[in-house]
Amino acid sequence: AQSVSQHNHHVILSEAASLELGCNYSYGGTVNLFWYVQYPGQHLQLLLKYFSGDPLVKGIKGFEAEFIKSKFSFNLRKPSVQWSDTAEYFCAVNARSGGSYIPTFGRGTSLIVHP
């Protein structure tokens, strides 16, 4: 069965610091990768996605992620975080499993940015 690991459960940064959140998945076939964000009191929303092509994908609010197939990784990055980036971040994989596509989410990383 496929699985998604997010290595950092809690991250605390100061504004303007750089951010990198790790995400690794276990699945040998073709995958589609996503990062979702949940701001306090808001719905889960899509941050960025990778389907194919350029492994460096850019999302909303200055976020980007790089797909490294050989490392089964899809790490999220932002060069300079803001207080408003405080949220929970989820990595997700959509991959074929027994004839169906089953979305699998990581357990999330809680990011707190101090002003």
Binding residue for other proteins, selected from 89, 108, 111, 113, defined by CB under 8 A:
108
Q: Does 101 bind other proteins (CB under 8 A)?
A: yes
Q: Does 59 bind other proteins (CB under 8 A)?
A: no
Report in angstroms the alpha-carbon separations of 14 from 24, 84, 89.
Answer: 25, 12, 17
Q: Does 44 bind other proteins (CB under 8 A)?
A: yes
Is the Cβ of residue 30 or residue 84 nearer to other proteins in the bound state? Answer: 30
Q: In the chain, what is the greatest distance between 2 CA atoms, to the nearest angstrom?
A: 47
DSSP string, 27-58: -SS-EEEEEEEE-TTS-EEEEEEE-SS-SEEE
Q: Does 49 bind other proteins (CB under 8 A)?
A: yes
Binding site for other proteins (CB under 8 A): 30, 32, 36, 43-46, 49, 51, 90, 92, 94, 96, 100-108
